[in-house]
């Protein structure tokens, strides 16, 4: 994942110096798109409807919690969803790979494992998304597929595109002068655009990471949960190894928690020494980070379980737009 450079947030001298490279990047992506348009590059068409959940910027935009919400939403609509993901930093013996909730995060990758645990739906990982779709067709009885990211993966045809936009798109320049993977005009071709302001928190729970030895099971009923007020006005260590750590820190501060910020790179592999703070303060981390820390000998550690709920307007548009495209 690309760490967001500070100059992406506004048009400054460095951004303008890099603009010629952005122009070259623009020509490359236009040529690539044209090659798919004239079938010089092949596109795979699935007989199962495919929904893409992606963005047009580098870095995080909250795709994982939205994919989890969308999966559960589709289940309520009577669908049997499955999810495909690139499986960034996964280490499986082969690809495409069908993830189970019993896999390790080292095998499956942190985000695919989190999605599998939260949804109880088939999750297949692999860089070749067409092959992942074929794996789902062979190994499951699903009738709709959600692609976690892949808006720019034109080798896979899609029936519906959802683009998540994280507020303003910073300086509006293409890579590397700015964060855009594609021109902002790409949004006009998406079926649904969801801004962060149209995504609201449905529930927040602090869940204690009860320690266990590797290989042992864990009874979810034994997990200690706390309400929103438990950590209010308390000092804690806040851990975030995600694309945008500040968004996690901002959430904790809005809950009136006094945090000591500890940002890490996205998909960081945590070690025991990362939690050596020489005090007894509580540790709060993201759910994605908790997936990777379950077997570390750390005490008084909690993770923030976040459920989102798009606005009623977004849900209405999703229902009606989906109905018109997917029968």
Instruction: Report pLDDT for 215.
Output: 46
Task: Look up the domain containing 290 and give its range.
Answer: 200-309
Task: Give per-residue pLDDT as tens, 113-171.
Answer: 999 999 999 999 999 999 999 999 999 999 999 999 999 999 999 999 999 997 666 78
> By mean pLDDT, which of 45-59, 140-154, 161-175, 310-324 is the weakest?
161-175
Instruction: Report pLDDT for 295.
Output: 85
Per-residue pLDDT band at 78 (split at 50, 70, 90): very high
Per-residue pLDDT band at 3 (split at 50, 70, 90): low
In a domain, 11, yes or no: no
Q: Which residues on neighbouring strands pair with residue 85, listed in sequence order? A: 125, 148
Given a cut of 70, whether residue 217 has pLDDT beyond it is no
> By mean pLDDT, which of 12-16, 62-66, 217-221, 248-252 is the weakest?
217-221
In a domain, 285, yes or no: yes
In a domain, 211, yes or no: yes
Please provide the average confidence, as pLDDT, over all residues in the chain: 90
Same domain? For 234 and 270 the reply is: yes
In a domain, 23, yes or no: no
Omega of the bond leading into 175 within 30 degrees of 0 (cis): no
The two structure tokens encoding residue 34:
């044209």
In a domain, 55, yes or no: yes
Same domain? For 289 and 319 the reply is: no
Percent of the chain topping pLDDT 70: 93
In a domain, 184, yes or no: no
Given a cut of 70, whether residue 285 has pLDDT beyond it is yes
Instruction: Report pLDDT for 219.
Output: 47
Instruction: Report pLDDT for 202.
Output: 85
Same domain? For 113 and 224 the reply is: no
Same domain? For 145 and 206 the reply is: no
The two structure tokens encoding residue 128:
């070749």
In a domain, 9, yes or no: no
Q: Which residues on neighbouring strands pair with residue 207, listed in sequence order? A: 225, 303
The CATH code of the domain that includes 130 is 3.40.50
Q: According to the 3-state scheme, what is the secondary structure of the chain?
A: CCCCCHHHHCCCHHHHHHHHHHHHHHHHHHHHHHHHHCCCCCCECCCCCEEEEECCECCCCCHHHHHHHHHHHHHHCCCCEEEEECCCCCCCCCCCEEECCCCCHHHHCHHHHHHHHHHCCCEEECCCHHHHHHHHHHHCCCCEEEEECCCCCCCECCCEEEEEECCCCCCCCECCCCCECCCHHHHHHCCEEEEHHHEEEEEEEEEECCCCCCCCCCCHHHCCEECCCCCCCCEEEEEECCCCHHHHHHHHHHCCCEEEEEECCCCCCCCHHHHCCCCCCCEEEEHHHHHHHCCCCCCCEEEEEEEEEECHHHHHHHHHHHHHHCC
Same domain? For 318 and 304 the reply is: no
Same domain? For 297 and 315 the reply is: no
Quick one: CA torsion of 43, 49, 53, 58, rounded to 10 degrees? -10
Same domain? For 266 and 315 the reply is: no
Same domain? For 245 and 150 the reply is: no
| Radius of gyration, CA atoms only, the chain | 20
Same domain? For 207 and 126 the reply is: no
Question: Structural domain tally of the chain?
Answer: 2
Same domain? For 320 and 261 the reply is: no
Per-residue pLDDT band at 280 (split at 50, 70, 90): very high
Given a cut of 90, whether residue 40 has pLDDT beyond it is yes
Q: Which residues on neighbouring strands pair with residue 193, listed in sequence order? A: 163
Tell me whether strands 235-240 and 225-226 are parallel, antiparallel or unpaired.
unpaired
Instruction: Report pLDDT for 327.
Output: 64
Task: Give per-residue pLDDT as tens, 97-123.
Answer: 999 888 999 999 999 999 999 999 999
The two structure tokens encoding residue 134:
């074929």
Task: Give per-residue pLDDT as tens, 247-271.
Answer: 899 999 999 999 999 999 999 999 9
Instruction: Report pLDDT for 61.
Output: 79
Instruction: Report pLDDT for 221.
Output: 46
Same domain? For 159 and 90 the reply is: yes
Task: Give per-residue pLDDT as tens, 228-253.
Answer: 889 999 999 999 999 889 889 999 99
In a domain, 295, yes or no: yes
Same domain? For 93 and 221 the reply is: no
Given a cut of 70, whether residue 76 has pLDDT beyond it is yes
Q: Give the count of beta carbons closer than 10 Å to the beta carbon of residue 83.
A: 27
> By mean pLDDT, which of 36-45, 52-61, 62-71, 165-174 is the weakest?
165-174
Per-residue pLDDT band at 211 (split at 50, 70, 90): low
Percent of the chain topping pLDDT 90: 70
């Amino acid at each position: 994942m690309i760490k967001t450079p500070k100059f992406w947030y506004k048009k400054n001298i460095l951004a303008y110096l890099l603009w010629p490279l952005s122009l070259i990047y623009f020509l490359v992506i236009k040529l690539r798109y044209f090659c798919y348009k004239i079938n010089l590059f092949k596109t795979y068409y699935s007989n199962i409807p495919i929904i893409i959940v992606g963005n047009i910027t580098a870095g995080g935009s909250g795709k994982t919690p939205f994919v989890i919400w969308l999966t559960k939403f589709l289940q309520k609509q009577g669908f049997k969803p499955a999810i495909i993901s690139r499986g960034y930093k996964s280490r499986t013996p082969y690809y495409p790979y069908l993830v189970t909730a019993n896999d390790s995060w080292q095998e499956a990758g942190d985000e695919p494992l989190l999605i599998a645990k939260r949804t109880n739906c088939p999750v297949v990982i692999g860089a070749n998304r067409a092959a992942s779709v074929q794996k789902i067709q062979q190994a499951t009885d699903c009738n709709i597929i959600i692609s976690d990211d892949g808006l720019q993966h034109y080798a896979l045809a899609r029936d519906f595109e959802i683009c998540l936009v994280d507020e303003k798109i910073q300086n509006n320049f293409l890579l590397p002068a700015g964060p855009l993977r594609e021109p902002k005009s790409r949004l006009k071709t998406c079926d649904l655009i969801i801004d962060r302001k149209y995504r609201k928190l449905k529930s927040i729970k602090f869940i204690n990471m009860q320690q266990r030895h590797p290989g042992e099971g864990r009874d979810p009923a034994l997990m200690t949960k706390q309400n929103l007020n438990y950590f209010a006005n308390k000092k804690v260590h806040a851990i975030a190894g995600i694309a945008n750590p500040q968004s996690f820190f901002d959430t904790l501060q809005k809950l009136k928690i006094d945090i000591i910020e500890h940002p890490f790179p996205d998909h960081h592999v945590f070690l025991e020494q990362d939690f050596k703070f020489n005090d007894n303060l509580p540790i709060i981390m993201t759910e994605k980070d908790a997936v990777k820390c379950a077997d570390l000998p750390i005490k008084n550690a909690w993770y923030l379980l976040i459920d989102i709920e798009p606005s009623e307007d977004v849900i209405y548009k999703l229902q009606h737009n989906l109905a018109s495209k997917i029968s």
